[in-house]
Amino acid sequence: MGARGERIFSALLRLYPRAFRQRYRDDLLAFFRQDREHPQYGSGLLRPVRFWSATLRDLVRAAWGHHLAARAVEVSPSASVSGRLSGDLRYAWRGLWASPGVASAALVVLTLGIGTSTAIFSVVDAVALRGLPFQEADRLMSVAETNLMDGGRPMTVALQNFLEWRAQQRVFESMAASAGAGRFTTAGAPPAENLRAVRITSSLFEVLRVAPAMGRPFDARDERTGAPQVAIISDGLWRRRFHARPDIIGQAMTFENGTWEIVGVMPRSFTYPIGSVVVSAVDFWAPFVSSPRDAIRTPGRTYSLTVVARLRPGETQVRAAAEMTRIRDALAVEHPRWFADRGIIVRPLQNAIVGAEVRSWMLLLLGAVGFVLLIACLNVANLLLARAVGRSREVAVRAALGASPWDLARALLVESLLLSVLGSACGVLAAFWGVRILRATLPEHLPRLTEVGVDLRVLGVAALAALVTGVLFGTLPALQFSRPDVAGVLRHGGRSQSGGPVSERLRTILVMAEVALAVVLLAGAGLFISSFVRLMQIDLGLNPEHVLAVGVAPRSASLDRSAAIAAAHPLIMAALERTQAVPGVVAASALSSGLPLSGNSMSVPVQLPGQQPVFRGDDEAFVHGVTPKYLDVMRSTLIRGRWIEAGDVAGSPPVVVLSDEAVRRYFGSRDPMDRTIILNEAPRTVVGIVRGVRLGGPESEVPPEAYIPFLQSDQRSADIVVRTGPDPALVAPHVQAAIRTVIPNAVVYEPQTLAQHFGALVAQRKFNMIVLALFGSLAVVIASVGIYGLMAFVVAQRTREIGVRIALGAVPAGILQMVLGRATRLMVVGLFVGLAGAAALEQLVRAFLFDARAHDPAVYGAVVIVLLVTGFVAAFGPARRAARVDPLEALRAE
Amino acid sequence: MTPVGRGQGPDLTPIAFEVLLSLVDGPQHGYGIKLDIEARTAGELSLGSGTLYQAIQRLEREGLITEARSGGDRSDARRGRSYRLQPAGRAALHTHLRRLSRVVDYARSRKLLPATE
């Protein structure tokens, strides 16, 4: 903050005249530095706010004083440019001050418009637009293998291939790999922490062109087998765990499974890999140690590396891709089994981190917020136009006194610019707050979310937005009133009839445009809401609410797997029994494979007696080892036969309960009951059928599943899954405690809830829905303010005409009808244009909708109703005022 | 450039007056002047940098104060330049104080202010 604050202040000194600045610059900065320590600004969060508001107030006041003094000194009657501008500014300021209603309405609308756009832009910028925080980042390429069985989806790289690539390629300056190294639990000084580590080749520093802030980077010696374990820690870990001690280099970091020597600390800004919050949260980096043995191509293939490389100067992505493809093809001849289903892809690192999908999503958000900003501009233009009409007499007087059209237009333009600058200032403040909300609401899987913030770039864009909007909404009134009908206006007294019809038509068009844009946004909101509702209505086959899961892994001294299983099962069953007794637990079961919805499930090959086994990944069955209460925990349904019972134990006949999807897939129309099915080479008798579950969430298919008794499974660890009465978070610590009492030395994992996993699966859609709904309602509110303003204006302009009508016998209901009729015509036109626009734009958002329906009549119908209702509410006030016009008053007023 | 409107004798603005008062006991740097004024007015007058240096600029131009050379003191760089009262400044201060004193006497005689405690 310190140095940045001073830079800002130093830049602001430009507001002073040059002579003053040159003489006192150092003194002013010294003053600034000392004043920052002054106790009068209090303490806490508000201290910087108080300090800056006092400093800025003083600065503006003093700078203004200098300019006034300079003007007073100037003897020449032809005012200088800056003098004229400050004259315009003062005139504008007085003008705004004189009509606080219009000024504050405009300010509120601008604050909302610019605030939301700035906040959204800061997200879009950080995620999709800004370059990576590395030197010459456009030369950084991601090199990945692709899965040819899965449409060429990029995936991680096998170590053997990386080593060959690195040895053979000539297009990259250097090439580096990294791989997650898992989590390490600290030993020694409490609190115990679970640190996340990533292994990197020493070349990574060279590729990214980064260096530790303290200590040394890794080098080739660290990568040899048997080298001492060394680590480079993140700035965050250094501050958090080591209290930023300066003598950190050479210290040891002790974990339950080993000690590491700290050889470096990375700068605060560094993170790698760059990705979502989870991916980027790395506590330390360790050297990638590989032995010559790792280069041997074994029968099994492991893919775990992320590879990044820096292009040589002058090389291009296309040439690099060609060369890497050539290397891959040569390897494929040598090792056909490795490359039958694997391709290679070279793409800019930035694209690898932020995929096309995320990018277009970001552009969608930007587009939507652009609409909001546009509506806000139209609205302010409208307000200013109304005010300009009210001041047409004043304008005419100025024209009569010799002001040129340029003078008049400039005055109005300066006024709108002043308004937009004020609006942006408030908008930026609102954006600071909005960004914090957005960061908390955005789905965690969004890459580079941690970098989202209001910075100079964002402020620059906000300033640009202010300028553009100011000109945009200032031009119309300025054009309209730069050539007033002086004689006409002055002759007609204060109430102008001459500016009326033209500007009224203009304002009507503006409001129609507002309505049309609001309709587009509202339709967008409707589409996203209805799509989300459909998503929520999808039957998962289980009920994720109030389901808690706590993973437990009993430690085993035995190296023999079956002995370890035999030892672990009774412990887990005892823990389960204890858990049942915990208050708040409705039902509890063990589950031997990953939780539904969590993305961790286990599938096995399936075979019927007398048939070849199915090895195709998409035809394998997901196996869950469960205990009798599992159905009650998940609220799933048994369709036929029986469920897993307490009598299904290790020695009893092996049984299986299949899901309806598994039956359909493997048995077709035959009856599966009491038949044998071979799962992972173990035959089991089918004893029942249950409803299938969408394991991957509402947007996934129902896969074939097989439930087996937990005690017949071959897993040493399990999740204890629990249906709770109260909030699972309240029950979780008691469940953990119960498990720990039964198995004191077990690893008991952090509790998870199914609802959390479900939430993560729908987070992006939910976010889109909330944002669009917010924009839609904002647009409707702004548009109805526009309708209200216009109707009030029309009624005020026509008070006399209405008075005459009433005097001639018009009934109040007729007048009411006349005004509302006008509002209706306005809305109908806006609706037509808006609905047509929405229907045309619908294609652009369809990719973001679940189960999208083209031109959903329910959505469009709702849009029409919402808009008409709010529009009528807005127009009703002015209409009633018109109906209550007292003809005597109206006529006397002239 | 000649200052306009201040030809007929020293006419001190309230801020200029306070700045001169702060320099009576010897040279001070800018922020010292601010703190001194705050202490004297019990925090009622708290000057920002712009306002203060605007006053200093004017007082320098009118020859009432001048920059105090402190012989390469390193604290200058950190705290800013120091200023000291010129004879003309002291005179202007006296004129102003006499004028104020007359006003106070008058106020006392009309019981607008309590008599000396």
Q: What is the pLDDT of residues A469-489, one digit of tens each?
A: 778 777 777 776 666 666 666
**What pLDDT shows up at residue A630?**
92
**What pLDDT shows up at residue A498?**
42
Range A266-290 average pLDDT: 83
* pLDDT, averaged across chain A: 83
pLDDT band for A491, please (50, 70, 90 cuts).
low
CA-to-CA separations, B29 to A28, A62, A91, A241, B46, in angstroms, rounded: 11, 19, 39, 44, 16
pLDDT over 80 (residue A63): yes
Chain mean position to CA A138: 24
Question: In this complex, do B57 and A20 lie within 8 Å of one another by their Cβ atoms?
Answer: yes
Nearest chain A Cα distance for residue B87, angstroms: 23
State the pTM of this model. 0.67
Task: Return the number of other C-beta atoms located less than 10 Å from residue A450's C-beta.
Answer: 16
* Residues from chain B contacting residue A73 (CB–CB below 8 Å): 1, 4
Range A616-641 average pLDDT: 84
Chain mean position to CA A310: 29
Name, in order, each residue with C-beta under 8 angstroms of A757's C-beta and a sequence gap of 6 or more: A544, A595, A596, A597, A598, A599, A697
Range A368-379 average pLDDT: 86
**What pLDDT shows up at residue A494?**
46
Is residue A379 a contact partner of residue A387, using CB atoms and an 8 Å limit? no
**What pLDDT shows up at residue A690?**
93
**What pLDDT shows up at residue A617?**
53
pLDDT over 60 (residue A40): yes
A666-698 pLDDT, tens digit each: 888 888 888 888 887 788 999 999 999 998 888
Which positions 40-59 of B are in contact with A (Cβ < 8 Å)? 43, 46-54, 56-57
Cα dihedral across residues A577, A578, A582, A588: positive or negative? negative
pLDDT band for A233, please (50, 70, 90 cuts).
very high
Question: Is B31 touching A (CB cutoff 8 A)?
Answer: yes
Question: In this complex, do B79 and A30 lie within 8 Å of one another by their Cβ atoms?
Answer: yes
Is residue A35 a contact partner of residue A6, using CB atoms and an 8 Å limit? no
CA-to-CA separations, A889 to A497, A804, A885, B69, in angstroms, rounded: 19, 11, 8, 76
Range A544-563 average pLDDT: 80
Give the residues across from A769 on adjacent strands: none
Give the residues across from A261 on adjacent strands: A230, A252
**What pLDDT shows up at residue A428?**
87
pLDDT over 50 (residue A75): no
Closest CA to A865 of A524, A528, A513, A519: A519
pLDDT over 80 (residue A405): no
pLDDT over 50 (residue A497): no
pLDDT over 70 (residue A107): yes
**What pLDDT shows up at residue B3?**
40
Q: Does A598 or A835 have the greater pLDDT score?
A: A835
pLDDT band for A792, please (50, 70, 90 cuts).
confident
**What pLDDT shows up at residue A84?**
66
Q: Does A408 or A143 have the greater pLDDT score?
A: A143
Nearest chain A Cα distance for residue B113, angstroms: 31
* Residues from chain A contacting residue B30 (CB–CB below 8 Å): 27, 30-31
Instruction: Please state which of the ranges A24-28, A345-349, A454-458, B101-105 shows the lowest mean pLDDT.
Output: A454-458
Question: In this complex, do B49 and A31 lie within 8 Å of one another by their Cβ atoms?
Answer: yes
**What pLDDT shows up at residue A436?**
85
Nearest chain A Cα distance for residue B52, angstroms: 9
Tokens of residue B19, six digits:
């700045």
**What pLDDT shows up at residue A326?**
92
Q: Does A53 or A559 have the greater pLDDT score?
A: A53
Question: In this complex, do B48 and A24 lie within 8 Å of one another by their Cβ atoms?
Answer: no
pLDDT band for B117, please (50, 70, 90 cuts).
very low
Question: In this complex, do B43 and A40 lie within 8 Å of one another by their Cβ atoms?
Answer: yes
Give the residues across from A659 on adjacent strands: A690
Q: CA dihedral in degrees (A133, A138, A142, A148; nearest 10)?
A: 130
pLDDT over 90 (residue A615): no
**What pLDDT shows up at residue A74?**
47
**What pLDDT shows up at residue A592?**
87
Across the interface, of B29, B30, B46, the residue whose CB is closest to A40 is: B46
Range A827-844 average pLDDT: 88
**What pLDDT shows up at residue A185?**
72
* Residues from chain B contacting residue A31 (CB–CB below 8 Å): 30-31, 34, 49, 52-53, 80
**What pLDDT shows up at residue B7?**
38
Range A826-853 average pLDDT: 86
Give the residues across from B70 on adjacent strands: none
CA-to-CA separations, A376 to A117, A385, A513, A782, in angstroms, rounded: 11, 14, 11, 7
Range A830-856 average pLDDT: 85
